[in-house]
Amino acid sequence: MDWLKLLLIVGVGYIAGFLNTVAGGGSLITLPVLIFLGLPPAVANGTNRIAIFSQNIFGVLGFKSKGVSAFPYSLWLGLSALAGAIIGAKIAVDIPGDLFNKILAVVIVIVVLFTVFTRKNKGVEEAERMDRKHIIIGILSFFFIGIYGGFIQAGVGFIIIAALTTINKYSLVKTNSAKVFVVMIYTLAALIVFIVEGKVHWGYGIVLAIGNSTGSWTASRLSVKKGDSWIKWFIVLTVIALAIKLWIFN
């Protein structure tokens, strides 16, 4: 691997890891780059999981270093998503790329706008909903989120943010701490499936993981320092940019 490819992969990985930790959509950047470098789509998808798994280990450690955690609830969510991810990673869905990108663009815009503009009431922070009813709803919801995450991964961060801020009324900072833990767990299951199927390029995957992990560590600690307001507008700008990319430049 030459130095130009090395720098490209690490740089793209850093940006993706930062985006994935604070908002989502980093895989919409890394997957095209891996394909551009010559990997078949399925191998690019599997290779990307190495970076996603590593990235979220560092994200979890970053949030933990700042005293932010949703454990043990995040563990139950992660196990539920893991079961779904095994199914998602094995599903072959024949959707034209252009159509899929346009549908995803619309979905993430709706999800993020709903999350950002409906989660607060008259500027007052709502109490977390951690009663049995909402815990069960959350766990069941993450099974289906896991199916999507296991299948394609791209954009799943926005769905997780919407679920946790709507169902459990988590702050965006706590939501992101739970998100990186959940994704870390279910990505391991999806990665194993791709490895068994021989759909992983270890060289690119390890280099990409270095970039993703560094970006995730930076983002996790910075998001705790900046708080919900900064995260909210970062998400808005990110989703607008990704929606434009998906709709026009697919």
Express each pLDDT in 185-198 by its tens digit.
999 988 998 899 88
pLDDT for 92: 40
Position 117 scores a pLDDT of: 65
What pLDDT does residue 242 have?
65
Q: What is the pLDDT of residue 114?
A: 65
pLDDT at res. 148 = 86
Predicted local confidence at residue 245, as pLDDT: 65
Write out residues in the chain with pLDDT < 70, as ranges.
1, 91-105, 107-108, 111-125, 228, 239, 242-243, 245-250
SS (H, E, C) the chain: CCHHHHHHHHHHHHHHHHHHHHCCCCHHHHHHHHHHCCCCHHHHHHHHHHHHHHHHHHHHHHHHHCCCCCCCHHHHHHHHHHHHHHHHHHCCCCCCHHHHHHHHHHHHHHHHHHHHHHCCECCECCCCCCCHHHHHHHHHHHHHHHHHHHHCCCCHHHHHHHHHHHHCCCCHHHHHHHHHHHHHHHHHHHHHHHHHCCCCCHHHHHHHHHHHHHHHHHHHHHHHHHCHHHHHHHHHHHHHHHHHHHHHCC
